[in-house]
Chain A
Amino acid sequence: QVQLVQSGAEVKKPGASVRVSCKASGYTFTDHYIHWVRQAPGQGLEWMGWISPNSGGTNYVEKFHGWVTITRDTSISTAYLELNRLRFDDTAFYYCARSRERIGDAFDIWGQGTLVTVSS
């Protein structure tokens, strides 16, 4: 069964960092790009960036440059999203998702989402 399983909910203070994991199973991890998408409570979907699990290459939306880092560990088929210098408005669900077939493609498999709450 093809799936992406994410790590559990996190509560962090402003200024802290958090790392969310996304473990792939049921397919060859290096065959599909992994994307990260953010959704604030009650709001829409916002694409953040992608990683090529094969090369490790990344691309980010301009607004996330410098405080978001996407990495991967191919030995355990896992991608990571690290958020630094957290602010209250970073409270959101963070989803990983897989590109269907090629880099420029729709997202056919999604993780269940990880809620990151930033609270003092």
Chain B
Amino acid sequence: DIQMTQSPSTLSASVGDRVTITCRASQSIGTWLAWYQQKPGKAPNLLIYKASNLENGVSSRFSGSGSGTEFTLTISSLQPDDFATYYCQQYNTYWTFGQGTKLEIK
């Protein structure tokens, strides 16, 4: 099984900050990686697919990069609506999610 490890688990930041979340795969997954945002009581929402492709309707403040085993999600200028939990997901071999990164207001 492919394991996905996100860091940090919790991130405190302020509106306007630039933040980066890292996701590491236990083996190479090419660019078969997605990022999701989840708010309390809601379903996850797809932000990025195939490591760096922005889903339709998602703000360009979100960007993704990486390949192989290391990936990043960057939010260029945090807005109040961005404080949520973020998950990476590999879909190279079946589907596995990272444990999540909770983005909190500092």
Using CB atoms and an 8 Å cutoff, list the residues of chain A in contact with chain B.
Answer: 35, 44-47, 59, 61, 95, 97, 100, 104-108, 110-113
Contact = CB atoms under 8 A, between A and B. Distances in A.
Interface stretch (B15-23, B41-49, B66-74, B76-84): B41-49
Contacts of B99: 44
Interface string B83-105: 00001010110111111100000
A86 B70 CA distance: 37
A45 B44 contact: yes
Nearest to A6: B43
Contact of B94 (A44, A61, A100, A113): A61
Interface in B34-76: 34, 36, 42-46, 49-50, 55
B87 A107 contact: no
A44 B91 contact: no
20 contacts: A44-B98, A45-B36, A47-B95, A47-B96, A61-B94, A95-B43, A95-B44, A97-B43, A104-B32, A104-B92, A105-B49, A106-B34, A106-B46, A107-B36, A108-B46, A108-B55, A110-B45, A112-B43, A113-B42, A113-B43
